[in-house]
Amino acid sequence: MFWDNGLVYPLGTSIGSPLPGWFYFFVLDVACVLISLIKRNTLFAAFLALETAFGAPMELSERVFDLRQKLTVFHHVGVTDGDGFMAPRLRFAHLVPRDSYQGSIADGFACAALGNKLKHHKFLFVDSDETLVEVLGFSDCKNWFVALLGVWTHYSSTRHYKFYSGLKGKKVRVLGTLEELVDFAYFQIHYVHNQAYLFGRLVKKGLTSHVLTHKLHARLAPALETYGDRTNKTPDPP
């Protein structure tokens, strides 16, 4: 579906199937973040042979691989309110690859789900005339996520962003602007799940300085000022 790197989706397009596996996008409570950048048709074989030079996924776990070889930035913070899988949680990740490893991400992304089985995120891709600059995302690991891909386009010598959002049981959406992505994350965090306090804890742990993090922080600032980093109050919907 996504192997044709010339494929372009219009804004608002729904992508993929509504599987709950999308919501292991950045992190599981049973493991540290495991995101792999994969090559075509080498998904499972390469996962079992991390040191294979061609087609090996980028295993982003400091327990098994030296991240400095493939990333210049790997920033991940997460907070959980309580114990167990159903405990409220919020995660943020910011990845910047080394330019020398761009070939490893030409055909898509995957992450490790339960049992270390790789989950291919087909909605995330880099076109043949693009170079990946960065990947950012927020997720509660169960119900929703947002993702931003920054890419450099060679023919126009410009950088642009790709925006995605997902809800459990729904198809992944391609968004048109950063504001739409921020609005989606804000609504999920503040109104749907009443978890602005978790975002406040992420801020205390440290988010990277990025237009996405600054805009979302600004939107949630009134809630953080009112409720702090913990609240049992339910705000009125907008």
> Does residue 151 contact residue 164 with C-beta atoms inside 8 Å?
no
> Where are the domains positioned within the chain?
14-178
Give the pLDDT score at 162. 93
Q: Which residue has the higher pLDDT, 183 or 23?
A: 183
pTM metric for this prediction: 0.69
Give the pLDDT score at 189. 93
> Tokens for 12?
């608002």
Give the pLDDT score at 104. 59
Q: Per-residue pLDDT averaged across 61-84, rounded?
A: 70
DSSP for 77-109 reads EEEESSSSTTS-EEEEEEEEE-GGGGGGGTT-E
Closest among 96, 82, 86, 61 to 209, alpha carbons compared:
96
Give the pLDDT score at 52. 25
Taking the C-alpha atoms of residue 223 and residue 229, their distance in angstroms, rounded to an integer, is 9
Taking the C-alpha atoms of residue 145 and residue 130, their distance in angstroms, rounded to an integer, is 24
**CA dist 206 → 111, 146, 212, 215 (Å):** 23, 18, 14, 15
User: Which DSSP letter does residue 188 get?
Assistant: I
Residue 194 CA, distance from chain mean position: 21
For 47, phi then psi, to 5°, come to -65, -30
User: Which DSSP letter does residue 81 get?
Assistant: S
SS3 assignment for 16-36: CCCCHHHHHCCCECCECCCEE
Give the pLDDT score at 112. 56
Give the pLDDT score at 41. 30
Which residues on adjacent β-strands are paired with residue 144? 167
Mean pLDDT of the chain: 70
In this structure, the chain runs to a length of 238
Question: Computed from CA positions of residues 166, 210, 27, 36, in that sequence, does the dihedral angle turn out positive or negative?
Answer: positive
Convert the pLDDT of each residue in 126-165 to its tens digit: 888 888 889 899 988 889 999 999 999 888 899 999 999 9
Give the pLDDT score at 149. 92
> Tokens for 92?
């943020």
Residue 15 CA, distance from chain mean position: 16
